[in-house]
Amino acid sequence: MANQVENNTKLGIFVLSGLMVLMIAFYMIGKNHTLFGNNFNLKVRFANLNGLTEGSNVMFAGLQAGTVKNIQLINDTSIEVTLLIDDKIKDFVRKNALASIGTDGLMGNKVVNIVPVNQPMGKVENGDMLMAKKAVNMDQMLQTLSKTNSNVADISEGLKTTVLSINKSSVMGILNDKNIGSSLSSSLKNINKATLNANQITASINEMMLQAKSGKGTLGILLTDTATAENLREAIAKIRMAGDNVNHMTSDLNKMVLDINHNLTSGKGTLNTLLRDTTIAKNLKASMDNIQKGTDAFNQDMEALKHNFLFSGYFKKLEKQQAKDKK
């Protein structure tokens, strides 16, 4: 009886030991610990873990490299994470590699991603501290996306209002007018024609300038011919001289008019005497009357000579000759 109890006790202890080993094995497998193999530790300090926990996977270049061994709060801005890394990838991790917190898939568990840097650096050793790369916070991304959606909605509403205003404006009526197309086509043709004319004018001006530079054409002769230039210079000098003479004559006339005006106002001078002396005026009038009378008498004498038989033939011949000349 005692042997049976002892055997049952041994069997129970063996079964419990097996169960404990099996549970520990399951735990280690669940935490992605390597049961048989060498591991080494790396450390990283983050400002925010974003939900990272102990036992989370560690990825290197997209491959399973280890697990998160320990998380320790250093201060209010720094959290130290100890990574348990498989010794097989030790030769591939450099001291300048960057560690960041990511997500396994779109909405999966948090993982630590170790990203190599394309710069030469030595291999990591056990206990080395890796540089941390700022993680992208999903909440911040969602907040930014929400704000972006709100802005897009505001822009869409503004565009809608603008489009409705344009549809109601006279601009759409102009655009929908079928006659606008023909008018625009005609205007474009006129603009094209004007452009061609302007190009032709420009070409003509360029040709004229080239001819002028080479001494050809009227403009070239005027610019390059020394004789023509000398003649132009002489002509300009004569025009200037004529202008000076005109200025002198004008000055002399002004002076003479001022002298006459002064003589008239002061009662001096011959012209004043002729205009204001009544005796001279009477004499001049009498002289004019005598001249008129003498002219009348002379006309009468000439008329009498026409009827005189000695001179009648001459005057008749003269009248015939005048009539012939008129014909």
- Per-residue tokens: 188: 């474009």
Do 4 and 82 share a structural domain? no
Share of residues in the chain with pLDDT > 90 (%): 5
Cβ-in-10-Å burial (0-12, 13-18, 19+) of 90 comes to: middle
Taking 60 as the threshold, does the pLDDT of residue 26 lie above it? yes
| pLDDT (tens digit per residue) in 152-173 | 888 988 888 887 777 776 666 6
- pLDDT score, position 44: 92
Structural domains of the chain, count: 4
Report pLDDT for 127. 85
Does residue 32 have a pLDDT over 60? no
| Residue 284 main-chain phi, psi, to 5 deg | -65, -40
Residue 215 backbone class (left: φ over 0; alpha: ψ -120 to 50; beta: rest): left
Tokens describing residue 193: 């024609």
Asked which of 95, 113, 136 is the last residue of a domain, the reply is 136
pLDDT > 60? residue 143: yes
What residues are paired with 3 via a beta bridge?
Answer: none
Domain membership of residue 265 (yes or no) is no
Q: What angle do CA 38, 43, 48 make, to 5 degrees?
A: 135
Q: Among residues 229, 207, 226, 230, which one has the least CA distance to residue 217?
A: 207
- In terms of phi and psi (left: phi > 0; alpha: psi -120 to 50; beta: otherwise), the region of 165 is alpha
**Surface-to-core class of residue 138, CB atoms within 10 Å of its CB (0-12 exposed, 13-18 middle, 19+ buried):** middle
- 180-197 per-position pLDDT tens digit: 667 777 888 888 888 888
| Burial of 99: CB neighbours in 10 Å, binned 0-12, 13-18, 19+ | buried
For tokens 């004007």, the residue is 194
Task: Name which of 3-17, 48-62, 74-88, 103-117 the model is least confident about.
Answer: 3-17
Cα Rg of the chain (Å, integer): 64
Is 106 a residue whose pLDDT tops 80?
Answer: no
Looking at residue 177, what is its pLDDT?
66
* 57 and 2 in a common domain: no
> Encoding tokens for residue 97?
């590699």
Residue 93 sits in the same domain as residue 172: no
Residues 79 and 72 sit within 8 Å (Cβ to Cβ): yes
Domain that holds residue 285: 277-307
Instruction: Give the SS3 label for residue 32.
Output: coil
pLDDT at residue 267, rounded to an integer: 64
Say what the pLDDT of residue 205 is. 84
Q: Report the alpha-carbon distance of residue 79 to residue 213 in Å, rounded.
A: 85
Identify whether the C-beta of residue 103 lies closer than 8 Å to the C-beta of residue 111: yes
128 shares a domain with 189: no
Q: Which of 197, 224, 251 is the last residue of a domain?
A: 224
Q: What is the DSSP string of 72-139?
A: EEEETTEEEEEEEEEGGGGGG-BTT-EEEEEESSSS--EEEEEE--SS--PBP-TTEEEEEPPPPPHH
Residue 13 domain-assigned (yes or no): yes
In a domain, 233, yes or no: no
What pLDDT band is residue 277 in, cutting at 50, 70 and 90?
A: low
- Is pLDDT at 215 greater than 80 in this prediction? no
Q: Same domain, yes or no, for 111 and 43? A: yes
Asked if 85 and 24 sit in the same domain, the reply is no
